[in-house]
Homo-oligomer: A and B are copies of this chain.
Amino acid sequence: MLKREDIIVLLSGGIDSTTLLWLSKEIFKKVYAISFDYGQKHKVELSYAKEIAKIANVEKHFIATIPHLKDLGNSALTDKNIEVPSENYTDEPPITTVPMRNLIFLSLAASYADVYGIENIGIGVHSLDSPYPDCRAEFVSSAEAAINASSIMVAKKKNRIKIFTPFLGMSKADIVKLGYSLGVPFEKTYSCYKGTEPPCGECATCRQREEALKILESR
């Protein structure tokens, strides 16, 4: 099948980004991945991301470091004085929100896209009513505009960089269904915010993951 352009996928090593990687391999020519060392307590996810990138046989897997977010703290994911909660999310941005995380991630990914001539950036944000501001459609479209206004490649070639977000209107269960049909190796993925091995099973991410994977049991 004819494939279009190249893509760089933001890969955490969890279910969503891994499924996005598998989907991207169906659709795009060259598939790159990028993962971030941002002082997250669950830094162990990076070794899972590396293994997944290898299995997916990506063109190149970049690891970018963002040292200041740990010092800045103020998020349960990076601040040792704030515990990762087990409660469910409300409508407010949860304490696990990392300030400007996805904008920083997308900006860094875009710098690679600009140099490697990659015209698409994939991010596995999902669900219409996310409590995380930087996972919503409004955020994605404004980030795309900022990236395009900033891009050297776009200024020279007059093309556009697109942010690929096929999961924006999906639930995690929808993503698992899609991943299953794409042959995603879910057993290789990792998402626990506490960063324990085996995963804690108690944090919101662990519970969301378990809940979503239940769908496979009925098959």
**Which chain A residues have a beta carbon within 8 Å of chain B's beta carbons?**
62, 64-69, 72-74, 92-93, 97, 99-100, 102-104, 107-108, 110-112, 114-115, 133-134, 136, 138-139, 142-143, 145-152, 154-156
Write the chain B residue with the least CB distance to A135. Answer: B150
Distance between A30 CB and nearest chain B CB, rounded to angstroms: 17
Chain B, residue nearest A152 (CB): B93
Q: Nearest B residue to A64 by beta-carbon distance? A: B68
Residue pair B112, A146 in contact (C-beta under 8 Å) = no
Residues of B within 8 Å of A100, CB to CB, are 107-108, 110-111, 114, 147, 150-151
Q: Does A108 contact B115, Cβ atoms closer than 8 Å?
A: no
A155 touches B107 (CB 8 A): no
Asked if residues A108 and B68 are in contact (CB atoms below 8 Å), the reply is yes
Q: Determine whether the beta carbon of A133 is less than 8 Å from that of B104.
A: no
Q: Closest Cβ of chain B: how far from A150's Cβ, in Å?
A: 4
Query: With A72-B115, A133-B155, A142-B142 known to touch, is A103 a contact of B93 (CB < 8 Å)?
Result: no
